[in-house]
Structure 1
Amino acid sequence: MTATLLFSFLFAITILTLTPGFDTALVLRTTAAQGWRRATATAFGVTLGCLVWGVAVGFGLGALLLASEIAYNLLKWMGAAYLLCLGIRLLLNPRAQAQNEAAGETGQQSYLSCFSRGLLGNMLNPKVGVFYVTFLPQFIPAGASVPLWCSLMALTHMAIGLVWNAALIGGSHFFAAHLRRPAVLKVMDRLTGMVFIGFAAKLALSRR
């Protein structure tokens, strides 16, 4: 029974990880604009957000989003505002040239900034918490420790996410020379900005 639940969870979480979303757009854009090292920091931030949500759900904090409409809406609007700011910034101020990792340019964002962007983008999305609180319990064996299993499943999700992001970064790095052309970079920034604004609107209009 436990093995069946485990394989079912791995199949479902892998499909969900491969589904494009905000995290995919953010990692791809960071790879093209700032290189694979900072994209890796962003990917760690995104996946760590999944782990934090999983642990929170395991200890019952995620249930608060289901029980309290005020808590859900507060986090929802904070997340939508954050995504909207990111999107508007990319639309109004697209990069004219890629930042060179090896050159160490002063305009280059720090690894901590890239990591924080990925982490906040995930943590400020209450739908992740609601998803975890409704999804993870389906795969917990009867009588098992809920905090332990939720944490382990979230850690598994994080590991799968890191592998998938590594594939995305590697693929983008292969085409880096083309993606870093000024004209292409501007188009990518503006398209990514529109995607972020779309995610912000989707989040703001979402219901539990």
Structure 2
Amino acid sequence: MTDILIQYSPFLIAALLLNVSPGPDMAYIVGQTAVYGRKIGLFSTFGVVSGACVHILAAALGLSAILATSAIAFSIVKWVGVVYLVWLGIGALRSSFAKPAQDDLENSTALDAAGQGLNPTSVATPKRTITAYQAWRQGVMIDVLNPKVAIFFLAFLPQFVHPELGHGTVQFLVLGSTVNLIGLVVETAIVLMVGAAAARIRGNAVLGKFGVWLQRALGGMFIALGLRLAVTEQ
């Protein structure tokens, strides 16, 4: 057991560093958590992890090699991802500028039971919300439609596969799942911290409008990620 830990310690350290470093997935998860709360942040994380599972399986089966060697395949996946990210960004921006529904207006101007004034939790909150399934689906799509993730697994994991141990495909899947598991732990911890901070902000009437600006920032971030992906070369 000790020998195995020593042998794979460079891999575990590299996997941890890769998961704590800022990137598109991290930015997406933090943005979703800040705008929609901890639950949506967690399901966004599960979506990203699920998308990474698709890339790991594809790399183990050799499908990711097509993206690494075919400029056409790489471009198709890349531009579909660009369109999807920009579409999400425009949707978030449009929602943040939309007028609140009549019920929301009534709630925001209603006195609380003690007659102390506005209900701070209903002041200037974003009109558009998403379900847990939608958050999970977005996370999956954002990760799957990023060809750089597929090429990363294809380039990173084989360095730690030892042919003398046999079952190369099984080793590949185990290593990829380990990277994914470390990512799940790291991203969940970040969601919990960001979610706690966002909850305190949303509970403050003075900072209520901050939620709307967070949603606009999220929309801008989606568009920025799309543009970043657009200029990515194979």
Q: TM-score band, normalised by the shorter chain?
A: 0.7 to 0.9
Q: CA deviation at 1:32?
A: 2.6
- Aligned 8 A contact 2:32 2:40 in 1: yes
Tell me how far 1:128 sits from its aligned partner.
0.3
Aligned-partner Cα distance in 2 for 1:76–1:174: 34
Residue of structure 2 equivalent to 1:167: 189
Q: CA contact under 8 A between 2:96 and 2:215: conserved in structure 1? A: yes
Deviation digits for residues 35-92 of structure 1 (CA, Å, limit 9, x no counterpart): 2222211111101111221111011011111121111110000111111111222233
Change beyond 3 A, Cα 1:69–1:2:
farther
TM-score (norm 2): 0.78
Conserved in 2, the CA contact under 8 Å of 1:43 and 1:118? yes
Letter in 1 for 2:65: A
Q: Does 1:32 align with 2:34?
A: yes
Question: 1:56 — aligned with what?
Answer: 58
Take 1:20 and 1:185, find their aligned partners in 2: how far apart are those partners?
Answer: 23
How far is 1:2 from its partner?
A: 5.7
Give the 5 Å matches for 1:157-196: 157-175=179-197, 176-179=199-202, 181-196=207-222
Tell me the CA shift for residue 188 of structure 1: 1.6
Using the alignment, how far apart are the partners of 2:40 and 2:195 within structure 1?
A: 12
Specify the SS of the correspondent of 1:94: helix
Cα root mean square deviation, aligned: 2.1
For 2:125, which of 78, 97, 101 is the aligned residue? 97
Closer/same/farther in 2, CA of residues 55 and 4 from structure 1, 3 Å limit:
farther
Deviation for aligned residue 1:149: 1.6
Aligned residue pair count = 201
Give structure 1 stretches of 5+ with no counterpart. Answer: 100-106
Aligned to 1:148: 170
Structure with larger Rg? 2
**Corresponding residue of 2:228:** 202
**Which residue, out of 25, 37, 45, partners 1:43?**
45
Contact 1:53 1:62 in 2 (8 A): yes
Deviations 1:149-196 (A, max 9, x none): 221122112211111122111111221121564421122222222222
In terms of mean alpha carbon deviation, does 188-197 or 121-130 score higher?
A: 188-197
Is residue 136–residue 153 contact of structure 1 (8 Å, CA) maintained in 2? yes
Deviant stretches of 4+, over 6 Å = none
Contact 2:15–2:179 (Cα < 8 Å) also in 1: yes
In the superposition, the TM-score normalised over structure 1's length comes to: 0.87
- Structure 2: state its 5+ residue gaps: 98-123
CA distance in 2, matches of 1:19, 1:5: 23
Which amino acid in 1 is paired with 2:200? A
- Kindly report which structure 2 residues correspond to 1:75-90, keeping only aligned pairs within 5 A, or say none: 75-90=77-92
Shift of the 5–205 alpha-carbon distance from structure 1 to 2, 3 Å rule, reads farther
How far apart, CA to CA, are the structure 2 residues paired with 1:117 and 1:169? Answer: 16
Residue 63 of structure 2 aligns to a residue whose secondary structure is: coil
